[in-house]
Structure 1
Amino acid sequence: MIAKDVGIDPKMLELLICPLTKGRLVFDADRQELVSEKARLAYPIRDGVPIMLVSEARHIEED
């Protein structure tokens, strides 16, 4: 996880959880998102701020 690329404190990223499942999130540096694999949602990071709203999350399609 390279949190410095988005200007987010790495400690904060460790504390964030998916608001829907309460599960862990994986940082996707390429897309600037926090991914909840369990919920199949990707939460955007805008201007260094994680947007932790289900209504703002992108649905991840099955591969």
Structure 2
Amino acid sequence: MSINKELLDILACPKCKGDIYLDDAGNGLICDKCKLIYEIKDDIPIMLIEKARPVTP
């Protein structure tokens, strides 16, 4: 999956307002502070706290 670099620069974690980054597989956006991953579907990040999943090591 591809997400626009400009979009990634302005997005923040909706829970803590911290920085997020694209995971290695390109399937989601990770917040290290909250330990959550926000899924990307059809190139659209789903930035809803209740839809986020815990990051697994």
- Say whether the fold is shared (TM-score over 0.5): yes
Q: State the TM-score, normalized to the length of structure 1.
A: 0.80
Q: Which runs of 4+ in 1 moved over 2 A?
A: none
SS at match of 1:39: coil
Q: Which runs of 5+ in 2 are unaligned?
A: none
Larger Rg: 1 or 2?
1
Aligned to 1:47: 42
Aligned to 2:19: 24
Q: How far apart are 1:36 and its partner, in Å?
A: 0.3
CA RMSD of aligned residues (A): 1.4
Q: State the TM-score, normalized to the length of structure 2.
A: 0.88
Cα deviation, 1:15-36, whole Å, max 9, x if unaligned, reads: 0000000000011141511000
Q: Which runs of 5+ in 1 are unaligned?
A: 1-5
Aligned length: 57
SS at match of 2:22: strand
